[in-house]
Chain A
Amino acid sequence: MPVARVSRAALAALAALAARAARAAPAAGWLPALLLAGLLASMPFASAADGQRRSTAIAGGDWSDEELAVLASLRLDALPAMSVDPSNAVEGRPEAVALGRRLFGDARFSRNQAVSCASCHDPALQFQDGRPLAIGVGAGRRRSMPVVAAGHATWLFWDGRKDSLWSQALGPLEDAVEHGGNRARHVHLLQAHYRGDYEAVFGPMPDLTGLPDDAGPLGSPAEQAAWAALAPALREAASRVFANLGKAIAAYEKTLAYGPSRFDRHVERLLDPLAQGEPLAEAEPLLSPQEANGLRLFIGKAECVTCHNGPLFTDQQFHNTGVPPRESAQPDRGRAPAALQVQRDEFNCVGPFSDATPDDCQELRFIVADDPSLEAAFRTPSLRNVALRPPYMHAGQFASLDEVIAHYVKAPAAAVGQSELLRADGHGSPRASARSDRKGDRRRIRLTAGEARDLAAFLGTLSGPIVERTASQPASSRDR
């Protein structure tokens, strides 16, 4: 049973509550007013010494216990220590991190000698590129994702087709439009320019005699033929060196973390017991009234927190929200094909180049791979620093946060699959039927223009620094 605590400002709080109730459930109309009247008639007011409303100097009023619990779950301090990736034995080693940092910026690992990881994941640009579609040696199909805090994700890429950071790093290297390289060429480069650093981390390089300049299973027809012609032992040796290249890059990427934002400082202050009951008029408000209202909407009737939850503002799951495809002739199916792809990937947790035991690979064991909800579903991105990195969505479809919010309010039908914003509710909860339109679909989110602006303003408070953690952190072991 939900509980609300009452303070001396009961009248003001209840008035605000009734106003919010009226906004949140316009169809209910008379109901909030009736309840409020009944409530005022039935409830004695608590004394000033009772209750624990967290008063702040910020307009927007007090926060309920439920709201504070949600806010507490969103703060950066609540982020668990990065879990250990059992498939990458070298990820915590400083030599691996140093090697990975150098490889990350080395444009020699590309067909035109001009593309490195940093080209699309620019450290000066939130580790992404600010473009709707990535541009490597050719034009990509999707938006570059920021690499920061990626170690907390179970699945990598918008569609989750890779199950580890090191495996993900290998994808673009062999992709025809990203780096445009091939496996043999990358391995030769590593041997020519990084042999000492490599061997300090991974031990002696295997014998690669007979490996052609250009060969690889994902390359041009000629490269594929050259690869297929190799002895299995040589293919395995080259693939192992290639996998290690990914593991070094992943070791570096795992050091990239978000620092606290204005939102985090605001929530810490709200939760600080010393501030309880004390007016904070002297302290400068951390969130403006507009931003505080935006936060209230974010965890309330705008329902953003449904998917953008937890300290990274992502549930790390796959959702279809009806984002219009960039190529309507060939719409992006997102997770649906990728869930099958990750199970077949030679560089996955159960593959021969993983350092994990099969027991460590429970995520693959219990993967959802055959559900209609995966169709055109994409991974919820983190919203930390979101205001700093337009455009938005998997192909950069929206140029601004205002457009994103407008999309959620508009809730268009999905071109492929079924939008979660419009699903028919099979469970018949009273709130759902109260908000159904005549067609039986649920129109979920209603925001005024002012509320949409407040929400966008709040998202700006999630910006903070990106830090490279150099000290080794205590890590919790977790199934991969």
Chain B
Amino acid sequence: MSRITSPALGLIALIALAGCATPPPQLDLSLRRPSVDGHYVVTLQPPSPAPAINQLHSWQMKVETPAGQPVAKARIAIDGGMPQHGHGLPTRPRATPELADGAYRLEGMKFSMTGWWEIKLAIKSAEGEDTVTFNTMVAAPGAAR
């Protein structure tokens, strides 16, 4: 089967399917990102298998310095939502205190629909205060029957 992609075609699809199924092109979906002012490097790990829509779940998280040292005793606030729909997260997730060596868990996460979600983290520790935003695409559970 031959697939044809082109930026022009992508843009047509973006305009034509004016519902919320299409995120902006070149969305950074990386799960390891530096914070805005460079205090931290944060790695997120979603649960596997992916949770169902509207199912509460947790994400694993690692906070390190840019040099790779685990960051202890960080206080993490979680926000986010769907920019294309202007709504926030359907729950108030909370980060645990440090579990071990810069590892934390984000509990109470939930996605109420498919599409592009932002997860915004505000981190406070001896290393300073900083923020980082992750993008995630929540897929339709269409494959499962």
Contact = CB atoms under 8 A, between A and B. Distances in A.
**A and B part of one assembly:** yes
Interface of A: 1-6, 17-18, 20-21, 24-25, 28, 31-32, 35-36, 38-39, 42-44, 46, 50-52, 64, 66-70, 72-73, 77-78, 80, 154, 299-303, 305-307, 309-310, 315-317, 319, 362-363, 365-369, 371, 373, 420, 423, 425-427, 429-431, 478-479
Contacts of B107: 362, 366
Contacts of A426: 86
Contacts of A6: 2, 4
Nearest to A47: B2
Contact of A366 (B4, B13, B56, B113): B56
Contacts of B141: 73, 78
Contact of B20 (A18, A21, A305, A373): A305
B145 A78 contact: yes
B54 to A, nearest CB: 6
A1 B2 contact: no
Contact of B113 (A28, A301, A306, A478): A306
Interface in B1-44: 1-6, 8-22, 24-25
Contacts of A52: 1
The size class of the interface chain B forms with chain A is 35 or more
23 contacts: A18-B12, A24-B15, A28-B15, A39-B6, A43-B4, A51-B1, A69-B140, A78-B144, A300-B16, A300-B17, A303-B18, A305-B19, A306-B20, A306-B113, A307-B113, A363-B56, A366-B91, A368-B91, A373-B87, A420-B85, A431-B14, A478-B55, A479-B55
Contacts of A72: 140, 142
Contact of B2 (A50, A68, A154, A365): A50
Contacts of B25: 1-2
A77 B145 contact: yes
A43 B88 contact: no
Given A154-B54, A366-B110, A1 B10 contact: yes
B16 A17 contact: yes
A368 B91 CA distance: 5
